[in-house]
Amino acid sequence: MTVARLADGGLLLHSPIPHTPALAQEIAALGPVTHLVAPNRVHHLYLGPWTEACPDATLHGAPGLRDKRRDLVFHRELGDAPASDWADRLDQALVAGIPHVNEVVLLHRASRTLLLTDLAMNFPSLPEGFWTRLFVRAMALQGGVRTSRLIHSLVRDRAALRASLERILAWDFDRVVVSHGELCERGGRDALRSAWARLLRA
């Protein structure tokens, strides 16, 4: 999960992780949570407790989530342009060509930080834990910023995906925050380009 402070002082929670009292207390010390963001069709599992804990927050979901999670009230659907609530601080792009995922990528301009969920992962070395190690090996993810075999299997329109990647790679960013693996502090744009090099060259 990534926490971003918006111009009005409110907090945006990107891809929320499990809610705990301790975590909620840490976040409350930073400010009020005004936006909850589920950035793709897969990263939605922990939204329920957060919506209960932050009843005044606006819930944003990737295309398709409203139908998938009818138990939740999505106030807005994420699209290919930044929401007015954060357009002054964040850029936004809907990654086309992978409809099962429909990932929406955010760029925090001031810190030159790209926020990803499943478009790429970063495991410089094998992680702890049997199941995580098994996943990293099975998905061919070891060695830095990589794309998983699973995400490649879900691509339905290579040309559309290539266009989305080229647009994202034209942004000015250096750091990449991933939902799976370690933070990529430097060289993130080159690392993401390398991770998708085969498709970009096609």
CATH of the domain at 109: 3.60.15.10
CA atoms within 13 A on the CB side of 136: 20
Residue 122 CA to residue 30 CA, distance in Å, equals 27
Query: What integer best gives the mean pLDDT of the chain?
Result: 94
pLDDT digits (tens, 9 = 90+) for 182-194: 899 999 999 999 9
Total count of domains within the chain = 1
pLDDT tens sequence across 42-89: 999 999 999 999 999 999 999 999 999 999 999 999 999 999 999 999
Kindly give the pairing relationship between strand 175-177 and strand 113-115.
parallel
pLDDT, tens digit, 9 for 90 and up, residues 6-44: 999 999 999 999 999 999 999 999 999 999 999 999 999
β partners of residue 77: 61
- Least-confidence region, from 47-61, 108-122, 134-148: 134-148
Count CA atoms closer than 13 A to 28's CA, side-chain side.
10
Q: Which domain holds residue 155?
A: 2-201
| Kind of pairing between the strands at 144-146 and 175-177 | unpaired
How many CA atoms lie less than 13 Å away from 197 in the CB half-sphere?
7
Max intra-chain CA distance, the chain? 48
Lowest-pLDDT choice from 37-51, 85-99, 119-133, 187-201? 119-133
This model's pTM is above 0.85: yes
